[in-house]
Structures are given as C-alpha cells and as structure tokens.
Amino acid sequence: MSRVHWVRHGPTHARCMVGWTDLPADLSDTAALDRLAAHLPADAVVVSSDLTRAAATADAIAGPRTRLDHDPDLREINFGAWEMQTPDSVEDQDHLRAYWDAPGDVRPPDGESWHQVSTRVSRATDRLLAAHPGRELVIVAHFGAILTQVQRATGLSGYETFSHRIDNLSVTDIAFDKGTWRIGRINHRA
C-alpha cells in the first residue's frame, strides 16, 4: 500500500484566482510548519509543484526526508485570462459560473478545464507512485490539484468535490492499494 499526504502550500494572502502566477508563500508561522513536519511520516519522500509557494513550503517541512525535484504537473489550475482576477471582475459571468457550477470541460479563456487539470495531476501522481511503490509520499501542491485527487478517491462529482475545504498547510491523506483509492482525512490541520 502507498499513502499520499497531500499538503497545501503556505498562504499567499492573495484574494483572487491564483493559478500559475508564481507568488511566494508566507512561511512566517514556523510553529505551524514545525507541527506539520512532525505530523508527516519521517521516512516519506517529499515532492512539490514547481511554483515557488509549493516548493518553498516543501523545503520548509522536508527536514531529513528525501526531497525530489519539483514537478510542474502538480501545479494549480491554469486560470488563463482569469488569472489574478477576482470572480466579480471577470467580464463573462455566465462562463465563470459554468466553470465552477459544472466542473468538467468548461475552461477559462486560454486556461484549463477541470478534466485537463485532473488528467495532469493524476498523471504526476501515478508516475510518483510507480517510481516509489509502497512508500509514503508527501506532495506539496495546491487547492485544485489536491481536490482532483479527492475526487479520484471518492468518486464525487466535480461540483461536490469543490465543496471540500483545503486550507493552507493542511494535510489530505489518500491511500492506494491494489488498484483501489481510499480517502483518509481531508483538510487535517496538524
């Protein structure tokens, strides 16, 4: 059995749709980072998205664990033309509502659909599990990336999946055993 401990990066304090924009994380809460690092398995392999907020968070909690190279397939949703906008500033509100209300093939202009994000993150997850069979993995990523795997493990619709909270510096545990995904705790704060 393999277990993936999905960790959401530290906060950016941005109040807009942040996808591929490379904002730094606020990692000033060292007590929270220490608790998180202590909560995670000591022998886990650590990997992150290549975006600074995830990579810096992974570096802050890795300690003596094996740290793998950053993986761009673990990035957040690519919001395309909506990137760094607040929802109320998006011109086409019907398109925006369709994206969030029926996650699937609807995509932002020049961005990714939910299915595209899910395919990309699942590909990275499968690649990591194949490279490290039976190991504990700590993957530091983003809200959307983590939710794709919650959906994969639970079989919920995209809309239902988006109802889950994934707080900064939280852990979501998902196990994979003999072709079966099992969800553990979602949005656990250490």
The model's pTM: 0.97
Distance CA 22, CA 64 (A): 26
Tens-digit pLDDT profile for the chain (190 aa)? Answer: 999 999 999 999 999 999 999 999 999 999 999 999 999 999 999 999 999 999 999 999 999 999 999 999 999 999 999 999 999 999 999 999 999 999 999 999 999 999 999 999 999 999 999 999 999 999 999 999 999 999 999 999 999 999 999 999 999 999 998 889 999 999 999 9
pLDDT in tens, 79-93: 999 999 999 999 999
Tokens of 25: 């994380």
Distance CA 41, CA 43 (A): 6
Superfamily of domain 2-189: Phosphoglycerate mutase-like (3.40.50.1240)
- Cβ neighbors of 103 (< 8 A, separation 6 or more) are 113, 114, 157, 158, 159, 161, 162
Summary count for the chain: helices (H), strands (E): 6, 7
Between the alpha carbon of residue 187 and those of residues 23, 60, 142, 167, 170, the distances in Å are 22, 19, 12, 6, 5
User: What is the structure's pLDDT at 178?
Assistant: 85
User: What is the structure's pLDDT at 109?
Assistant: 98
* For the chain, domain boundaries: 2-189
